[in-house]
Chains A and B, each alone.
Chain A
Amino acid sequence: MIRRFAVRCWILLASLQVTIVSLVLLMALVVLCTLAQTELGTLGAVNAYMRSWLVMRQLQGLPFRLPLFPGGALVGLVLVANLSAALVRRFDFNPRKFGLWVVHAGLILLVAGEFVTGAFQMDARMTIEQGQTVDYLESYHQMELAVSDLTDPAHTEEYGIPDSRLKEGAVIALPGTPLTLKVKRFYVNAALSPRGPNDPPSLADRGVGAGVTLTEAPPAASDKEVNATSAFVEPVAGGVSYGTWLVSTVLGAPQTFIHEGRTYLLSMRPRRTYLPYSVTLRKFSHDIYPGTDIPKNFSSLVHLSNPARGEQRDVLIYMNQPLRYDGKAFYQASYGKGDTLSVLQVVSNPGWLLPYLSCALITLGLLLHFGTTLFNAIKRRQEQEAV
C-alpha cells in the first residue's frame, strides 16, 4: 500500500503535468511580481513573490495573513525536483534525446544558481569623493549605530552595532571600552522635524535631538525611498550616564561626548564592512555627446592599494567594465556633488559562475536538439519527395 503510494508519488513528481503547472505558476508569479514593482519597489516585490515560499496577503477583516499563492522559491524547488526526478526516471542513452537531457541539466543548474544568489549574494556600495581614500563598503539596506573614539587624530577606533541588535531596552556593552549603550527607542524609519512650541518634549536631552520631533514612519517600500533609521540611546560609563541622545541617518551634525579624557562620536550610518585594502578616487569623468546632455560614459580612475600583498596600481572603472578584485566586483553605479563624487556598486556572489555554466549547457543542448530535429525533418521530406 505504502509502496504503491510512494511509486505513484514518484511518477507524479517526475510527470510532465507538474512541469507544465509549475511553468504556468511561474509565469503568473513573474507577471504579479512585475506589476507589484510599481508599488513595492523591485526588492520588495522580488522578496514578496520570487524569493518567498508562499505569497502572503492580509485580507480585509482578517487578523492574520493568508497564503494566497505559492511563492517563487517553492515553485522553483518543485521545478528542480520535477526536473531531477524526470531526468532520473526517463534517462536513456538515446542520441536523439541527448540534447534535451543537456538542456534540462543546465536548467537545474540555472535555478540552483538563483537559489545561491538569493542566499549568498552580498550587495554594497562604495562612495568616494575625488582625492578621498576609502577602505570600507556600505550596506544598501542595513544600518549600524557607530561609536567612534576620536581621541587620537591619527587613528580612529570604531565600534559598529548592527541595527538588528538595536532593540528597545537592549543594553550593549562595547568590548574594549568602558562604555555601555542603553537603547531607549529604535525606529526602522522615522520622520524628523524641528520641534514646534506645542510638540511634546523630546526623549533626548543632549545633542541636536533635544530640538527635534520624531514620528515613526512605515519602512520604505519603493526603490526611490531610503529609510531614516533612528534611535534614542543613553551611553553609560563607570556608573555615569551621559544623557539620552538621538541618532539618525538623516542627522548630519556630529554629536560627541567626553569620558575620562576620551572623545566619543555617536552616529547612525549605513552598515560598514572594512576591507584589508583601500581605494582612492583620482578622477571621476562624466562624458556627454557634444551639444547634448546625453551621457556617453561614466568612469572612475581609482588607485588600488593593498599593502598586505604589496599591490599599488591605478584602475579605470567604467560602463560595462567593472574591477574584479578579492572575490568582489566594483561597478560604476552613480555619481554626485557636481561630478566630483563617485558611487561604486560592490557585489560578491559566490555563485556568479553558475549561470554562465548553465547557459552554456542549455544553449548547447538546444542547438543539439533542434539541430537534429531539423535535420531529421529535412531528411524525411526528401525521402517523401523521392517516393
Chain B
Amino acid sequence: MKPAKLFAWLPGLLALAAALATTLAPGPVRGFEMDRFGRTPVLEGGRIKPLDSVARNALLMIRSKQSVPYLGRDLGPDEWILDVLFRPEAADAQPVFVINDPDVLGLMGIRQSANRYFSFNDIAPHLQEIQAQAMAARDLESVQRSRFQNAVANLFERLVLFNNLENSVQLADSAGLYAELQAPGGTQSLQRRQSLAQAARFRILPPGPGQGPDAWQSTGEALLALGPAGPPPALAALALAGAGYRAGQPEAFNRGVAELQALTANLRPGALRHANAEILFNRVQPFYLGMVIYVATLLVLFASWLWRPDLLQPAAFSLLAAGAVVHSAGLVSRILLQGRPPVTNLYSSAVFVGWAAVILGVVLERMYRKGFGTAVAAAAGFASLIIAHHLAMEGDTMEMMRAVLDSNFWLATHVVTVTVGYSGTFLAGIIAIAYTLRKHLAPDPDPATTRTLVDMTYGIVCFALLFSFVGTVLGGIWADQSWGRFWGWDPKENGALLIVLWNAIILHCRWGDYIREKGLMACAIFGSIITSLSWFGVNMLGIGLHSYGFMDKAFWALAWFIFSQLALIALCLAPRRFWAPRTSNS
C-alpha cells in the first residue's frame, strides 16, 4: 500500500481502535467490584436492565451528566448508585442536583453563581417550600405554568426520584438490609417494610423457580413475604453486599455480589445475558463517541481546505467512515437490546436521522469526491447526536412502547421511512448551507463544483420526497388500521404532509424553471425549517401556543435554529461577497 493511502486510513483506524478500547471492563475501585454490581439485572420501567442503566439514567435526569465529582474524584454511575443505596449519608453530601433557574435558587436563598450543582443536604432545609411550590404548579395545566413553576416542579420530581432510589433496597434512615433481616417482626418492622415496598424504584430479586417472568420483587416486597423458611438466598446475598459496602469491607461486598450474580445466572440466565450486553453498550457510549469522531472529521476537513487536500481529504473521509461504523454499531446494538426497529421515540429518531444522513453523505462522497459529502455528513451526524444527547436527559431512552405504538411492523416501515425523509430534507438543507458558505467564503469557486452541489441537492430533494411521501402514506394506512381513518389532520400528520408538499413545490418550481441554482438552494434551506417544525414544533403545540410553558429550552433552541436558517437563506440569496467593495470591472 502506498504511504499516502496508509496515512489516509490511519486516523479512521485509530478512531476505531479507541472505540474498541472503551469496551474493556474497568477494574475494581478501592477493592470493590463495582462494575460487577452494576451488571445486576433489575426490573424497572417495565423492562429488564442492568442496575448500571438505572444509575446512568437517574444521573442524567438529576445531574444531566453521567458522573459526579466528589472529594477530588469522579464517581461513575455504579459507585454513585452504591452510595445512594447503601451509604445514603455520603450520597446526600454529593453535589448531584443541577439547578439553573435563578428563581428556584432564590427560593432557597442562594444567589446564582458559577456553581450550579447542589447536594441533597444543601436542598433539605427548603424541602417543604419546594414541595408546596411544586404542588401548586402541579395543579395547573402545563400550558399555564411559568418558567419558575416548571423548574420547581422539575426539581421536585428529581428529589422524588433520588428519594425513591435511596429507599429502593433498604430504608435510607434505617440500620440497613442486613440488620432488617435479623430484626424481630413487629408493627414497626412491618411499617418499615411496607414503606420500603412502596418507595422502591426497581425490583432487584429474580423470580424463584416456577414463577412467571414478571414476578421480580423489590427487597421490600420480599421482606413482606418472608416466611419461616428464612430469606430467599438472593435477598441474603444482597444484604451481605450492602453491609460489606457500608462497612468498607471489599471481601464481604465482593462475595455478596458474586453470590447474587450466581443466583441470578441460575434463575434467570436470559436477564443476566441481557444486562451484560446492555452494560457494554452503556460503557462504550457509541453515540457520544460518534459525536467526537464527527467533530474530528470536520476539523481535519477544514484543515484540508488550507493545506494538502490530497492527504487530508481522504483522511477526513476515513474518520467519517469510522464515525459511521461506530454510529451504526450503536444503532444495531439498540435494535438488538430493545428487540424493536430503530426508531421508537424522539431520542432514537434523532439518532436515526443523523445516521441516515451520514450514510447518504458517504454515498454522495463516493459519487462526487469533492469533500462536500464528508462535510455535510459529519455536520449532520454531529448535530443530530447533540440533539439526541440532550433528549437523553428525559430518562430511559429504551422505554416501553405505549399500547397503540406496540407494532414492530409499522414502527419498522412507517416510522423508519418518514425519518429517512427527515434525514433527506435536512441533508439537502445542509448541502445548501455548504453552497452558501462556499459562495461567499471561497476565494474562487469553480463552476464545476457548484454544479455538483446543485446536482446533489436536487437528487437529495427527490430522495426526500420519495421517502417522506411513502412514509406519510404508510402512516395513513397505520392510522386506518388502528383508528379507523386514513387521514385525520392531526398535527403530527400535518407536519409530515408539510414536508411532502414543500419538497413537491421545490421540484415543480425547478421543473418549471421558476427557480434556478440560488432559488433551489434557498428552498432547500427552508426545507430544514419545515422539517424541524414538524419534528419538534408540533410536539410543543400540545404544550400550548400562548403560554409560559411553551417557552422552555427546546422552544428557544428551535427558535434559534429557525432564525439561523432564515439568516442563511438571506445569505444564500445575497450577491456573492455583497459586503466587499466592488471594483467597476469585476
Interface residues of A (CB under 8 A from B): 16-17, 19-20, 23-24, 26-27, 30-31, 33-35, 37-38, 42, 45-46, 50, 113-114, 117, 121, 123, 288-292, 294-298, 319-320, 322, 329, 331, 333, 345-347, 349, 352, 355-356, 359, 362-363, 366-367, 370, 373-374, 377
Contacts and interface: CB of A to CB of B under 8 A. Distances in A.
A322 B470 contact: no
A74 B497 CA distance: 18
B351 to A, nearest CB: 22
Contacts of B392: none
Interface string B216-227: 100000000000
Nearest to A329: B484
Contacts of A289: 45-47, 400
Contacts of B455: 377
Contacts of B43: 290-291
A363 B478 CA distance: 16
A117 B487 contact: yes
B245 to A, nearest CB: 25
Contact of B404 (A117, A319, A377): A319
A65 B484 CA distance: 35
B491 interface: yes
B484 A27 contact: no
Contact of A370 (B404, B462, B485): B462
A322 B485 CA distance: 12
Contacts of B481: 320, 322
Contacts of A292: 45-46, 400
B579 interface: no
A346 B484 CA distance: 8
B501 A27 contact: yes
B504 interface: yes
Contact of B491 (A16, A19, A34, A297): A34
A289 B43 CA distance: 10
B545 interface: yes
A324 to B, nearest CB: 10
Nearest to B476: A355
A23 to B, nearest CB: 5
A296 B407 CA distance: 11
A322 B483 CA distance: 9
A255 to B, nearest CB: 35
Given A23-B504, A366-B466, A45 B489 contact: yes
Interface of B: 43-47, 202-203, 214, 216, 399-400, 402-404, 406-407, 410, 455, 459, 462-463, 465-466, 469-470, 473, 476-478, 480-491, 494-495, 497-498, 501-502, 504-505, 508-509, 511-512, 514, 538, 541, 544-545
A368 B453 CA distance: 24
Given A20-B508, A38-B541, A33 B489 contact: yes
Given A290-B214, A366-B466, A113 B400 contact: no
Nearest to A286: B403
A320 B203 contact: no
A113 B476 CA distance: 12
Most chain A C-beta atoms within 10 Å of own C-beta, residue among B486, B487, B490, B538: B486
A35 B512 CA distance: 31
A298 B459 CA distance: 44
B152 to A, nearest CB: 24
24 contacts: A30-B489, A30-B494, A34-B495, A38-B541, A42-B489, A45-B489, A117-B485, A117-B487, A121-B485, A289-B45, A289-B46, A296-B403, A320-B404, A320-B481, A322-B484, A329-B484, A331-B483, A345-B483, A356-B477, A362-B473, A363-B473, A366-B465, A370-B463, A377-B455
Contacts of B473: 355, 359, 362-363
A322 to B, nearest CB: 7
Contacts of B489: 30, 33-34, 37, 42, 45-46, 50
Instruction: Give the 6 A-B CB pairs with smallest separation, nearest first.
Output: A289-B46, A347-B484, A290-B214, A16-B512, A359-B473, A295-B403
A34 B505 CA distance: 20
A171 to B, nearest CB: 39
Contacts of B478: 320
Nearest to A298: B403
Contacts of A24: 505
A298 B405 CA distance: 12
Given A20-B505, A45-B489, A34 B494 contact: yes
A134 B356 CA distance: 50
Contacts of A320: 404, 406-407, 410, 478, 481-482
Contacts of A117: 485-487
A291 B46 contact: yes
B505 to A, nearest CB: 5
Nearest to B200: A291
Contacts of A294: 45-46, 399-400, 402
B42 to A, nearest CB: 10
Given A121-B485, A291-B203, A352-B486, A296 B400 contact: yes
B508 A359 contact: no
Nearest to B463: A370
A239 B399 CA distance: 69
Given A292-B46, A296-B46, A329-B484, 20 more contacts: A20-B514, A23-B505, A31-B498, A35-B541, A45-B489, A50-B489, A121-B485, A290-B216, A292-B400, A294-B399, A294-B402, A298-B403, A319-B404, A319-B406, A319-B482, A333-B483, A345-B483, A347-B484, A355-B476, A366-B466
B466 A16 contact: no
Given A20-B514, A294-B400, A347-B484, A355 B477 contact: yes
Contact of A355 (B486, B495, B498, B514): B486
B486 A291 contact: no
Contacts of B400: 289, 292, 294, 296
A297 B477 CA distance: 20
B134 to A, nearest CB: 20
Contacts of B45: 289, 291-292, 294
A331 B491 CA distance: 22
A30 B492 CA distance: 11
A204 B10 CA distance: 91
A37 B492 CA distance: 12
Given A291-B45, A355-B477, A297 B505 contact: no
A47 B424 CA distance: 33
B486 A113 contact: yes
Contacts of A346: 484
A42 B492 CA distance: 12
Contacts of B482: 319-320, 322, 331
A367 B494 contact: no
A85 to B, nearest CB: 15
A50 B216 CA distance: 51
A331 B488 CA distance: 15
A362 B484 CA distance: 22
B484 A331 contact: yes
B494 A19 contact: no
Given A31-B498, A38-B541, A355 B487 contact: yes
A296 B406 contact: yes
A72 to B, nearest CB: 9
Nearest to A100: B511
Contacts of B514: 16, 20
Contacts of A359: 470, 473, 476-477
B505 A319 contact: no
Contacts of A30: 489, 494, 497-498, 501
Contact of B44 (A17, A291, A296, A319): A291
Contacts of A16: 508, 511-512, 514
A50 B486 CA distance: 15
Contacts of A113: 486
B46 to A, nearest CB: 3
Contacts of B403: 295-298, 319
Contacts of A50: 489
B481 to A, nearest CB: 6
Contact of A373 (B462, B486, B508): B462
